[in-house]
Chains A and B, each alone.
Chain A
Amino acid sequence: MGNKQTIFTAEQLDAYQDCTYFTRKEILRLFDRYRDLAPQLVPLDYTGQPDVKLPYELIGSMPELKDNPFRQRIAEVFSEDGEGNMTLDDFLDMFSVLSEMAPRDLKAYYAFKIYDFNNDDFICQSDLVKTLNKLTRNELTEDEVRMVCEKVIDEADLDNDGRLSLEDFQHMIVRAPDFLSTFHIRI
């Protein structure tokens, strides 16, 4: 395996490997990507676990994320402070969950969080409206938007509370044929 790198200690790398779906090489490569976003902010030595956060603007400008309408929500969900400013841990976490090796249940959990705009642990009507508008770039009329959101809740709401809980969402998403292939970022 070779201990030529001096960015992390061996224990740190092992811990990262156990906690994410990445291998040693990938973790180092991701660190390089993270550092490339702001070389002056990110030190080359992480053995001391420096507390470095990259602001959301840098994360949102990454080529993998810049065209994604949900990039802000993704950054918010995975960041520690909930504002989108990410540490290296958050960064690794995010790409680990979105990688192809992550299982369906894990992805479903985070997808639910991403689409829950107001962070109330339920996907309610307003969250759906926001999602739809982001997806269609506000091209649908209000009536159409309302109709779609009503249909969505009709279809998936099992406990009849007018909003989607995590369980409703999971029940629906595990049957989706395209979920695993679309909820995937390759880096």
Chain B
Amino acid sequence: GNERRKGASRAEEGESQTRPERIDRGRRKRTRSHQDTKGSEGDEEVQPKIQSGRAAKTRKHTKNEKTRKKEEEEKAEKGEGKERHGKRKKTSASKKEREEVGGKHTMKEKAQEVKRKNIIQQMNCIHNSLSSEELEKLKEAVDERKKLIQALRGKPWPIKKKCVILRESQEFVEKYEGALGKGKGRKLYAYKVLMSKALMGRPYGTIPRKTVPRAEATSAMDFAVLWDFGVSCIITLTLTTSCFLQWPFHATFRKMCFQGYAQYSVLFYGYYNNQRAVGWLKFRMPLSYFLVGVGTVAYSYMVVIRTMARNANESGVGDDNSFNFNWRMFTSWDYLIGNPETADNKFASITTSFKEAILEEQESQKDDNIHLTRFLRVLANFLVLCCLAGSGYLIYFVVRRSQKFALDGLENHTWWERNEVNMVMSLLGMFCPMLFDVISALENYHPRVALQWQLGRIFALFLGNLYTFIIALMDEINLKREEENIIKFNITVWEASLFNGTVSVNSTAPPVTIEPADVPRGPCWETMVGQEFVRLIISDTMTTYITLLIGDFLRAVLVRFLNYCWCWDLEAGFPSYSEFDVSGNVLGLIFNQGMIWMGAFYAPCLPALNVLRLHVSMYLQCWAVMCCNVPQERVFKASGSNNFYMAMLLVILFLSTLPAIYTIVTIPPSFDCGPFSGKQRMFDVIQETLESDFPAWFGKVFSYASNPGLVLPFMLLMVLAIYYLQSTSKSYKEANMELKKKLQTVVQNMFPPLVQQSCFNVYF
């Protein structure tokens, strides 16, 4: 390879020195001047570019015998695609000629004009003389050249060679597109090239980039599962637009209480009026609220599943262990590393990873003491279950207690007692995973399997906690509904008393104007639910930040400064700097998103709050990572494919939206707050819309479509479709494996190594 390149560069040196003369005369003129300086050899320049056999015909018209013979000789020797060698020989030969001719510029220019006219004549000759079939072939050759120009970047050749080929191909294309009568072809081509350059240039080249790469670039990529951010943004956008659409009409909303103003703000469900159509746009507010809620959930589902499908396509085989050692050897070094400390860490982690791989390889042969391992694993699982049960009970107990506190009146209790539930949940979420980590030391699994178990357990913990919380919330909702009934009863009594008090004469009673602000308000269980979720998320956020500051920052400060006066090396031994836990952080994001999905129906501006929170979190954690963390020593991906976390997100989406859907369907809305007040069920709003806003036949069609007799067979059909698709996908996978094996054996047996190599050269 090197010798070839050396030879080429030497020959090209000769050529490169001719460039300054030609360059300032533009591309087209370059051709002519090139021919010009070569003198009589000028015509031949054009000919080598025609690749196919019918080139002989063209040559007949424009050349003499001697030069044609030379052409054919060269062609015979080198075959297609090698004309540039011939050209280079000629260039070096004609170099001397050119030097002699250097001084006679003006005469040259005149000669140029003549040559130009000759060439145009030649073009016309070519055009007229070729048959249509040959024109076709010429067109093909031109197209091929164009494709070559487009694909030039991806070719594994040195730039010099590429430049030469580029110039040749461009000249060829230009010239013969002209000959083919496509005068515009050149402009179109130039336009296309310009467009592709412009499009390529847009994201790059304008933003200055740091030259020294970030130390934690690899783990930062995983942490870039902050795509959540994008989804949150969209959900926020939808909700805020629907909010702002009815903003001017807030004059109709009910009593404003300055104490707990936020309770009545747009943040919560209770803010929204139940007026059916608002303003001159006749904006259907309750319907919009409902549809936006349902729509955001549907959109989230779509996004998650689409991402999963895309990931599945890309990874192809998925979790493949067949090239374990190869990948460790050839893809473990990160070329982005530009920092000696990071490099040291990386060397250490690569060494560790190789040692582990070797150990695994050796251990997969031996097989010791299965019974002890099994017993320990069962024990570990039992302990974990105990933990989970314990944490579930603790939360339930705490929620009950807080209900008692609420009945006593919240002012009598300390801050801790008031926010007990949220603090307990956050603390559990912080300490239990560490406990699980310790317990998993008993199990002696492969690190990747251990990581999967760990993630699964944290998942179960989170779900258990959340569902306990929701069950406790249900109790509170029921309490509020009872309260509501009492208040409704009281209102009727009070209104009756008002009327009785003012009217003495029965018939012409002035209508009693009741100030809306004076009407006693019912408790709004939906707002309460929304509030609870907001409080939960805020306390979660605070816990995370405080953990970050204390657990990471304070620890780093202590380790750094106490190290001077401590007996053992704090940095190497305990406690050392905290590691950046990729999987933990990703899980945190996923759970956060789950809580948002759960609460979004009752607190519409929750996604907006979350976007803000994610912004702040990102910058804070970015700083913390750079300042206080060291990279993980062993980075084990939980799974080969990226779909592990996506699958988790999907499950969380399903489980989070379940409670909201349950409440929508079963619990009747509050009688005097929110967009659905007064209705029997929240989804009645759809019924209402169908009846009043759509033509009658639409309602009929809908009622037929929602007939159980139609819905059930449809669901059955979908289940069958799923079964069918799954079985075909399994059979495809098996076929894939068979083909892979076949390919291996075919390659091994049929082709000798040399031919294989040349196959790949042709491919390039």
**Chain B residues near A156 (CB, 8 Å)?**
323, 326
Q: With A136-B354, A165-B756, A186-B213 as given contacts, are A155 and B335 in contact (CB-CB < 8 Å)?
A: no
Size band of the interface chain B makes with A: 35 or more
Known: A119-B2, A156-B323, A183-B335. A110 touches B156 (CB 8 A): yes
Complex Cα spacing A67 to B336, Å: 9
A18-B166, A148-B358, A184-B336 known; A23-B205 Cβ under 8 A: yes
Given A26-B205, A152-B329, A155-B325: A177 touches B315 (CB 8 Å cut-off): yes
* The residue from A19, A137, A151, A167 contacting B756, defined by CB atoms under 8 A apart: A167
Q: Interface with A: B296-304, B337-345, B720-728, which one?
A: B337-345
Q: Provided the pairs A81-B6, A135-B347, A136-B347 are in contact, do residues A68 and B337 lie with their beta carbons within 8 angstroms?
A: yes
Encoded as 1 (CB less than 8 Å from any A CB) or 0, chain B from 738 to 764 comes to: 000000100110010100110110001
A82 to B335 alpha-carbon distance, docked (Å) = 21
Find the A residue at minimum CB distance from B204.
A23
A109 contacts B337, C-beta separation under 8 Å: no
B716 at the interface (CB under 8 A from A): no
B18 to chain A, nearest CB (A): 10
A159 touches B166 (CB 8 A): no
A106 partner, pick from B154, B342, B357, B753, beta carbons under 8 A? B154
Taking the nearest CB of chain A, how far is it from the CB of B153, in angstroms?
A: 6
Residue in A18, A90, A159 whose CB lies within 8 Å of B158: A90
Give chain B residues whose Cβ lies under 8 Å from the Cβ of A137: 347, 351
Instruction: Say yes or no: A135-B212 contact (C-beta < 8 A), given A18-B166, A159-B753.
Output: no
Question: Which residues on the A side are within 8 Å of B712 (C-beta)?
Answer: none
The residue of chain B having its C-beta at the shortest distance from the C-beta of A161 within the complex is: B753
Whether a CB of chain A sits under 8 angstroms from the CB of B430 is: no
In the complex, are the beta carbons of A67 and B331 less than 8 A apart? no
- Contact call A109/B759, Cβ cutoff below 8 A: no
Interface residues in A11-53 by Cβ distance below 8 A to B read 11-12, 15-26, 29, 33, 47-49, 51
Q: Is A92 in contact with B335, judged by CB distance below 8 angstroms?
A: no
Q: How far is the CA of A79 from the CA of B151 in the complex (A)?
A: 22
**Interface membership of A140, Cβ < 8 A:** yes
In the complex, chain A residues whose CB is within 8 Å of the CB of B265: none
Determine the chain B residues whose CB is within 8 A of the CB of A57 once the complex forms.
Answer: none
* In the complex, chain B residues 139-190 whose Cβ is within 8 Å of any chain A Cβ: 149, 152-156, 158-160, 162-163, 166-167
Residues of B within 8 A of A69 (CB): 333
CA A20 to CA B197, docked complex, whole Å: 11
Chain A hits for B218, CB < 8 A? 181-182
Does A126 touch B at the CB level, under 8 Å?
no
Given A135-B332, A182-B332, A177 contacting B640 (CB threshold 8 A): yes
Bound-state CA distance A110–B551 (Å) is 44
Task: Give residues in A with beta carbon < 8 Å to B.
Answer: 9, 11-12, 15-26, 29, 33, 47-49, 51, 63-64, 66-70, 80-82, 89-90, 92-93, 96, 98, 101-103, 105-106, 109-111, 113, 115, 119, 121, 128, 131-132, 135-137, 139-140, 144, 147-148, 151-152, 155-156, 158-161, 165-167, 169-170, 172-173, 175-179, 181-187
Top 3 closest pairs, chain A to chain B, by CB: A25-B205, A23-B205, A23-B201
Residues of B at the A interface (CB closer than 8 Å) are: 1-2, 5-6, 9, 13, 16-17, 19-20, 23-24, 27, 149, 152-156, 158-160, 162-163, 166-167, 193, 197, 200-201, 204-206, 209, 211-213, 218, 221, 315-317, 320, 322-327, 329-340, 342-343, 347, 350-351, 354-355, 357-358, 361, 640, 744, 747-748, 751, 753, 756-757, 759-760, 764
Kindly list 14 other residue pairs between chains A and B, CB separation below 8 angstroms, not including A19-B166, A136-B354. Answer: A11-B23, A16-B159, A23-B197, A23-B201, A24-B205, A51-B13, A81-B6, A90-B158, A106-B154, A119-B2, A140-B351, A147-B358, A167-B757, A172-B327
